[in-house]
Amino acid sequence: MTESLFSVPTDVNDNDKLMAALAYFFLPIVGAIILLVETMKVRPYQKFHAIQSLGLFVAEMVFYVLACIVYFACTALSAGILGLCLWIIFFLPLIPNLYYTYLAYAKPAYFEIPVLTKFMVQQGWLKV
């Protein structure tokens, strides 16, 4: 994964970094809290990562639906044998979540999630 950094913010404090990291780690809960609390919503670093993490959550839900279909189809076709091996696909979204959590906290920048960020910018949901 290569991240494309838009810009490095200058006014990011430790609270901004923590809330941005938590938005990726506990996706829908913290992201929604950041967007609802007035003092957090005005912080651009927190708001950017909260909105981007909610978009990532929606993309992961689509992945989970497709993974369930593939898992159950392969399990049914193989009489349960592939079900013993394919359960690992449900843990795959954890890898980008941990990576983006690390980037949001350790390297404070407005980074791009490859396809998702461009789509969200085009739709007007995310301002760069």
φ/ψ of 111, rounded to 5, equals: -100, 165
Domains in the chain: boundaries: 14-123
The single-letter code of the amino acid at 64 is: Y
> CA-to-CA distance for 109 and 78, rounded, in angstroms?
46
Query: CA 115, 69, 31 angle in degrees (round to 5)?
Result: 45
- Whole-model pTM: value is 0.81
Per-residue pLDDT of the chain (128 residues; tens, 9 = 90+): 444 456 667 788 888 888 888 888 886 777 777 777 777 778 888 888 888 988 999 999 999 999 999 999 988 888 888 888 888 888 988 899 999 999 988 888 888 999 999 999 999 888 76
The single-letter code of the amino acid at 97 is: N
* Max Cα distance, the chain (Å): 57
Neighbours of 10 (CB within 10 A): 6
